[in-house]
Structures are given as C-alpha cells and as structure tokens.
C-alpha cells in the first residue's frame, strides 16, 4: 500500500510540477509576447503619425525690405525690389538700375529653409570663413569667401534668409566692414517683417 501511495504521490507531484512549469511558460510567453508587441508597435505608431517639421510660411523676399532700406544701404536711390525669377518669391534684388547690371550696387535677399541655414553654418572649408553675429533674429552668421562681399545668413523661427550687398563697378567699393554693417542693418529690417 505504501508503494501505491508513493506512486500516486509521485504522479500527483509530477502532474503539479508540469502544471506549474506550464503556467510559468505561459507567463513567460505572455510577457515576451507583450514586450515584443510593444517594441514593434512603437515604430508603427511613429511611422503612422510622424513628427512633422514646423510649417514654413511662404515669404516673398521682396516684402522684407523697403526702397528706403535699400537706398540707405546702397547709398544711391534704389528702385523697388525685383524678383530674380518672376515666378519665384524666394530671391529679390534691389538696385538703382532696372537691369541689375554688375556695374551698379545691388542687394540680394534670398529666402531659405532652416536646414539650408544650418548647412551653411557648418561649412568647413579653408576658403570660407564663418563668423557668428548676435542681435539679429534667433541666430545669424557671416559667410566670407576671400575678398568677395560677405553673405549674412539669418534664422528667425522657421524661416532663414541671406542678404548680401554687391559693390558695383561704377562707384567706390564699400569696405568689408561697411558691407557687414549695412547687411546687419538690412537683416534687422527684414527680421522685423517676419
């Protein structure tokens, strides 16, 4: 009888052990499945609802400076700003010459994305000097190539732009420091309209 009782006890114990192990496996399986499900569903949620970049306003470059702003910087009476390409509001040129000849001083203002602004800021070339400037927009920097007129790049919010004064061949050229100061004044006027 003891042998039978031990056999029943051993069978019951084995059965209980199998049930416990089966329950543990189910718990582990459910836990792993839950972790895998949560791990794989995060990218799907992200892909289904991506973080969208901020909307950039469509800015007309010619609306950012006045004839008075341009005339003061160029030290000649400027004509109203004119789109470089009639169908695109992204680039505007001010000059005292309606044809924009290189013999006349000119201002160019170009609208760009924030990404474009950032790319220029991180340029690494021995021929290009990047010089940060404070007090204009959210951030700004000059980009200078040898003795050419500098570009002033500015970011305000989700809009970037560059402004540049180009010396004409007819009048005495501005010094680099004069160009930088004039570009800074123009950039401040443009930022105020964004």
- State which residues of the chain have pLDDT below 70: 1-57
Is 89 found in the same domain as 130?
Answer: yes
> Do 44 and 118 lie in a common domain?
no
Q: Are residues 27 and 118 in the same domain?
A: no
Q: Establish if 116 belongs to a structural domain.
A: yes
Within this chain, do residues 43 and 79 fall inside the same structural domain, yes or no?
no
Say whether both 164 and 126 belong to one domain.
yes
pLDDT value at position 57? 61
Question: What residue numbers bound the domain in which 27 lies?
Answer: 1-51
The per-residue pLDDT for 36 is 30
Total structural domains in the chain?
Answer: 2
User: Of 10, 26, 51, at which residue does a domain stop?
Assistant: 51
Are 135 and 65 found together in one domain? Answer: yes
37 and 112 in a common domain: no
How confident is the model at residue 156, as a pLDDT? 96
- What pLDDT is stored for residue 98 in this prediction? 86
* 117 and 26 together in one domain: no
Q: Are residue 76 and residue 30 in the same domain, yes or no?
A: no
Decide if 56 is inside a domain.
no
Same domain (yes/no): 9, 41: yes
Looking at the fold, whether 76 and 44 belong to one and the same domain comes out as no
pLDDT score, position 54: 52
151 shares its domain with 174: yes
What pLDDT does 107 receive?
96
CATH number at residue 103: 3.40.1000
What is the pTM (predicted TM-score) of this model? 0.70
Tokens encoding 109:
């203002």
CA-based nearest residue to 54, from 155, 158, 156, 194:
158
Per-position DSSP letters for the chain, written without gaps between them: -HHHHHHHHHHHHHHHHHHHHHHHHHHHHHHHHHHHHHHHHHHHHHHHSPPPPPPPP---GGGSS-HHHHHHHHTS-PPPPEESSTT-TTEEEEESSTT--TTS-EEEEEEE-HHHHHHHHT---TTEEEEEE-SSSSEEEEEEETTSPPEEEEEETTEEEEEEEE--SSSPPPPHHHHHHHHHHHHHHHHTT-
């Amino acid at each position: 009888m003891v042998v039978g009782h031990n056999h029943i006890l051993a069978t019951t114990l084995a059965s209980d052990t199998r049930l416990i192990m089966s329950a543990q496996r189910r718990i582990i399986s459910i836990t792993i499945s839950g972790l895998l499900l949560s791990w794989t569903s995060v990218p799907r949620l992200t892909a289904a609802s991506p973080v969208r970049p901020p909307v950039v306003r469509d800015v007309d470059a010619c609306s950012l400076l006045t004839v008075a702003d341009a005339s003061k910087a160029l030290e000649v009476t400027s004509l109203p700003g004119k789109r470089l390409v009639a169908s695109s509001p992204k680039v505007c040129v001010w000059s005292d010459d309606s044809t924009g000849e290189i013999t006349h001083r000119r201002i160019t203002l170009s609208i760009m994305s924030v990404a474009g602004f950032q790319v220029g800021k991180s340029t690494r070339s021995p021929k290009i000097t990047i010089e940060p400037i404070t007090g204009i927009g959210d951030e700004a920097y000059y980009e200078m190539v040898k003795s050419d007129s500098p570009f002033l790049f500015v970011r305000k919010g989700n809009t970037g732009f560059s402004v540049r004064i180009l010396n004409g061949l007819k009048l005495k050229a501005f010094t680099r420091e004069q160009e930088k100061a004039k570009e800074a004044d123009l950039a401040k006027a443009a930022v105020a309209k964004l």
